[in-house]
Amino acid sequence: MPKPPIADKRPKKLEAHGDIREDPYFWLNQREDPEVIAYLEEENTYTREVLAHTEELQESLFEEIKGRLVPDDASVPYRKDDFYYYSRFEKGKEYAIHCRKRGSLDAGEEILADGNVLAKGHEYFSFHLSGISVDHNLLALAIDTQGRRIYDVKFKNLDTGELLDDEIRDVTGSVAWANDNQTVFYSKQHAETLRPYQIYRHRLGTDPADDVLVFEETDETFHIDVFKTKSKRFIMISSEQTLTSEYRFLAADEPEGEFRVLQSRGRKHEYSASHFENDFFILTNDDAVNFRLMKTPVDNPAKEHWEEVIPHRADVLLETFAIFRDYLVLVERHEGLRKIHIRPWDGSDEHYLDFDEPAYYAYLMQNVEFDTTLLRFAYTSMTSPRATYDYDMGTRERTLLKQDKVLGDFDQSRYVSERLKATAADGTLVPISLVYRKQTKLEGRAPLLLYGYGSYGISMEASFSTARLSLLDRGFVYAIAHMRGGEDLGRPWYDHGKLLEKKNTFTDFIACGEHVVAEGYANPKKLFAWGGSAGGLLMGAVMNLRPDLFTGVVANVPFVDVVTTMLDDSIPLTTGEYDEWGNPNDKKFYEYMLSYSPYDNVASTDYPHLLVTTGLHDSQVQYWEPAKWVAKLRAMKTDDHRLIMKTNMDAGHGGASGRFKQFHETALAYAFLLDLVR
């Protein structure tokens, strides 16, 4: 079968700091060019041909994964004022139906929005409820039909079921309702960079063209958002960049008033704010690398009035918090695992919720009411499907509301989860969470898939996956590398995996791969790696550093052309990420990122088998990055291993939309891996 032609017709010389790089595939960044589309289609055709013999396996995997899902599943309702809100699916349908009941769970159902109806006529469809008015009579609904996360916001009268004439087009989908039930605030993104940078005020019944600009963020490294506090007292505007935060607030009863700054931005000062009674509660890294909790009067919120509530702890990352009338709930991370900490305001006995598995993920769910003793949280592990609980913080009684069902012959007692630690090149111990079926024969014989991300301070959680069972039941071990660049072991763990220490992320992942082999969990000839987005950068960097380590690699929407992208401030995300990767306009950062950028370091050597996926409308990692990378690899690599790329021509960063359609892409990747271990 012929490989797609190498698209090197229009080389471009790129210059920075006196250094000249020649990019023969630069022209692939022209999304509207028919030759580019033709090239992507040829790669798709080639992928289908290479994997044609796995089509039956792909279909079997898809049906298997789909068949584990409850066809008419529903979320656990949560209470907000006099209503119970929830979503549900109907058998065979792709999209959620959002509903509510008034006064009691025994009341009649009211459908707020049916995604299956709204999605008709669209190949790609994504939507969410942006917010409901204070009187619960009006709904803001955000819809994206392309995959670039550019939404149109529509408004629905829930009493009549009619859509209002108001429609706000090409915005972020973030909406906050004022207390008059007629005014909304929303954020708008830049047309080219897609950076959210403006907040507008809209009054229902008026022309959106006349909406009032209430705030504009002029610093191109910041992005903004707007939301309403749980107390319903304030509209908040957040301005955020990687290292710095600033919040503004406005009384929700006075929508035409002026926003006030809570605390002026200061370089490397990150904070977030919530409201309770007469104070703002501030989660801050001021003199606290792992964050501490402060409070300050609403009338005098500046930092000189801050009072410490929870002190900084060197071994505990304070991630977030929730406020109730009688309790403060803290979400902490210690030794890589989430802890839920209950603290009564009256100073009586504080305590932690108990979780007894070696690797798990616990998190807070919808806790929208102040005056309650019930805490809604979820728990999952690599062997346990998600369970939703109500926990009475007074009596300490834990009530299971729902555990996600896995259809078929699933029995969680057949699986075992473990926690390991690999030693990195500099002696740092890097946690690994793994799961496998008990009957799987280890002793260096099993195939193992190692997953990693390692950027933006995002921790990789040891959670359950129904799709993953298709690998575990076929003898795979699945492992997660918790390397630096995430925040798994606290804020320093993140700090030592970015900017001029970014290579720690890559060498940590390599150490994890070597460790699972050395400890007998993986056959060295059946070791695989998977990562997406910034995790795709990880895949590319690791392939260049240790092309011999992995048999096969899956790279989803990979960020692989680091230098060229970070030098182009006209595309989405670039300016807001200088504090993550560095600003290559500074020579030291240019040289450092050039030394690891996967695209720039492709060599004439043998590489692992590689499956790359992307989306034509991806707004976060533009499709041309993986396209260029694959073209360059195809031209330079010296092996005959598989190199295939699948471009979803109708989707963006998240891949296919819909509850079930997404699993076609999962099945493709699983078939790619399983075919390599036959």
Active site amino acids: 533, 618, 653
Q: How many CB atoms lie within 10 A of CB 365?
A: 16
End-to-end alpha carbon distance in the chain: 21
**Backbone φ, ψ for residue 303 (5° rounding):** -60, -30
- Name 556's Cβ contacts closer than 8 Å, sequence gap at least 6: 530, 531, 532, 533, 535, 536, 612, 613, 655, 669
Number of residues that make up the chain: 678
Structure tokens at 667: 């099945």
| SS3 (DSSP) at 234 | strand
Element containing residue 152 per DSSP (H, E): strand 151-157
CA distance linking residue 511 with residue 438, whole number of Å:
25
Backbone torsion region of residue 493, taken as left when φ is above 0, otherwise alpha when ψ lies between -120 and 50, otherwise beta: alpha
HSE-up (13 A, CA, CB side) for residue 402: 11
Question: How would you class 638 by CB atoms within 10 Å of its CB: exposed for 0-12, middle for 13-18, buried for 19 or more?
Answer: exposed
HSE-up (13 A, CA, CB side) for residue 528: 25
CA distance linking residue 667 with residue 30, whole number of Å:
30
DSSP, residue by residue, 310-370: E--BTTBEEEEEEE-SSEEEEEEEETTEEEEEEEETT----EE----SSSEEEEE-----S
The letter for the amino acid at 276 is F
CA distance linking residue 202 with residue 671, whole number of Å:
49
